Amino acid sequence: MKRRLILFLMILVLVDGVAAQQSGVLEIFSWWAGDEGPALEALIALYNRHYPGVEIINATVTGGAGVNFRAVLKTRMLGGNPPDSFQVHAGQELIGTWVIANRMQDLTWLYEEEGWFDVFPQALIDQLSYAGGIYAVPVNIHRAGVMWYIPAHLDSWGISLPTSLDEFYAVCTRLQSLGIIPLVLGEAWTVIHLWDQVALSVLGADGYEALWQGDLSPSGSEMIAVWDTFGRVLDCTNINQNAAGLSWQQATDLLVAGDAAFNVMGDWVAGYLSTTLRLSPGEDYGWADFPGTADIFTWLSDTFGLPVGAPNEAAAIAWLRLLGSLEGQNTFNPLKGSIPARADAVSAAPELYNVYLQYTAGEWASARLIGSMMHGVVANERFIGDFNQVLDIYIQSRSSTGAAAAMEAVCIQAGACGF
Ligand code: GAL
């Protein structure tokens, strides 16, 4: 017993010693700025407690989904000035941009040391892997394309939740007659986010996967049907009014204010509504599947890696260890509106997870998982950037065949959709 105690104390001293050894400046680079920041700030505070000798620079570039961040990151990475660790989505955004260009360090050894092969789902590890290496640590799983609403508002307008696109169009007509925006959109990337969900609704999970794998032509009849449907859904939005000037938070604010009925968005909305606006899931706000996408979970994962040339590698590795730990994941996710990437984290502390997050954790375990296009899982950055222009062409021309042909051209140029 005494020997065990001594051993335990020796380990404590050792661990403490390693923690104390970390010093210098650690720059964490992300797009979690302002009212998107609380979950990251909690993680940074936790790091500070473990490694008081390190000064963290929480560097952010504001703009949902990293739309502004990525250009700054590219300038820094290509200019030989990488941050110590940066936010990047699992999948093509990580692999197709940074890993294939040899800009990231292989973290397989860290996975082995931390026992992460046993706790992160293999399908997720696959999206972080390339040519035998693993290149990032996932901090969460987000769900994209959830349909958010305020139950009290729907009641007051006499609206029930649409479960099919036809029901949605009927609800849309009624809401428009009341002067309410049926489905609120924000700046450009939120339009791509909606397109993704419409495509999934029209093509189904198999068809959607086939599109990105090169087994369904981007200009074929199925895709023309996607654009036709997208046009009808777009007619139920504020695209021609104020959408372009709204961040996703501001679009959500219109929902809360009762100016709009639905917002099809990722579950960072749950983080914003619960953590920032202090609303209760299931009571003050509700969620549903976008019509035609029941039992499909459109996923994405925020990860951090270790760039080649990271100035403070030791402190960055300690950051990555924390992100992947039970403590790190259970500090971050309850505030963020996401679920942990670790399979053992929710069950280790279920009381931390609200009713929405418990529900999502169940869905993650049981639904059909589909990688998000907008959030870099199934398509590379070049494609997503250029796809913006396809949407612009469509919004101006409303030509489904024109948009389908333009999309095919973008797929070819970007080497996406199986090209
Ligand atoms: C996603 C990201 C989320 C959230 C969202 C809105 O791309 O994965 O964590 O930040 O953008 O900015």
Q: Is the CB of 302 under 6 A from ligand 1?
A: yes
Q: Is the CB of 187 under 6 A from ligand 1?
A: no
Atom of ligand 1 nearest to the CA of 374: 7
- pLDDT at res. 176: 98
Å from CA of 241 to ligand 1 middle: 24
Q: Is the CB of 267 under 6 A from ligand 1?
A: no
11 CB-side CA count, 13 A: 5
Q: Is the CB of 64 under 6 A from ligand 1?
A: yes
Q: Tokens 């009808």 correspond to what residue?
A: 232
Between vectors from CA 229 to CA 202 and to CA 389, what angle results, nearest 5°? 100
Low-confidence ranges of the chain (pLDDT < 70): 1-20
Residue 175 to residue 252: CA distance in whole angstroms: 17
Helix (H) or strand (E) run with residue 302 in it: strand 302-304
Residue nearest to atom 12 of ligand 1 (CA): 64
Instruction: Go through the domains of the chain in sequence order and give each one's CATH number.
Output: 23-141+301-366 (3.40.190.10), 143-299+372-414 (3.40.190.10)
Å from CA of 268 to ligand 1 middle: 7
Å from CA of 19 to ligand 1 middle: 30
- pLDDT at res. 21: 77
- pLDDT at res. 19: 53
Report the DSSP pairing between strands 302-304 and 85-89.
antiparallel
- Compute φ and ψ for 7, nearest 5 degrees: -60, -45
Q: Is the CB of 337 under 6 A from ligand 1?
A: no
Give the DSSP letter string of 39-99.
HHHHHHHHHHHH-TTEEEEEEE--SGGGTTHHHHHHHHHHTT---SEEEEETTHHHIIIII
Atom of ligand 1 nearest to the CA of 376: 7
Atom of ligand 1 nearest to the CA of 64: 12
Atom of ligand 1 nearest to the CA of 375: 7
Å from CA of 375 to ligand 1 middle: 8
Residue 417 to residue 408: CA distance in whole angstroms: 8
Q: Is the CB of 66 under 6 A from ligand 1?
A: yes
pTM: 0.95
Atom of ligand 1 nearest to the CA of 266: 5
Residue nearest to atom 2 of ligand 1 (CA): 65
Å from CA of 61 to ligand 1 middle: 12
Nearest to 197 by CA among 390, 398, 372, 367: 372
Residue 186 to residue 53: CA distance in whole angstroms: 41
Two tokens at 80? 């030989």
State pLDDT tens for residues 260-318: 999 999 999 999 999 999 999 999 999 999 999 999 999 999 999 999 999 999 999 99
The angle, 0 to 180 degrees and rounded to 10, between the axes of the packed helices 400-414 and 221-234 is: 110
Report the DSSP pairing between strands 129-130 and 296-300.
unpaired
Pocket test for ligand 1, best of 61, 142, 339 (most atoms within 8 A of CB): 142
Q: Is the CB of 196 under 6 A from ligand 1?
A: no
Atom of ligand 1 nearest to the CA of 63: 12
Q: Is the CB of 36 under 6 A from ligand 1?
A: yes
- pLDDT at res. 20: 52
Atom of ligand 1 nearest to the CA of 32: 10
Å from CA of 401 to ligand 1 middle: 31
Residue nearest to atom 1 of ligand 1 (CA): 65
Nearest to 293 by CA among 203, 378, 408: 203
Å from CA of 269 to ligand 1 middle: 10
Q: Tokens 């909305």 correspond to what residue?
A: 269
Q: Is the CB of 375 under 6 A from ligand 1?
A: yes
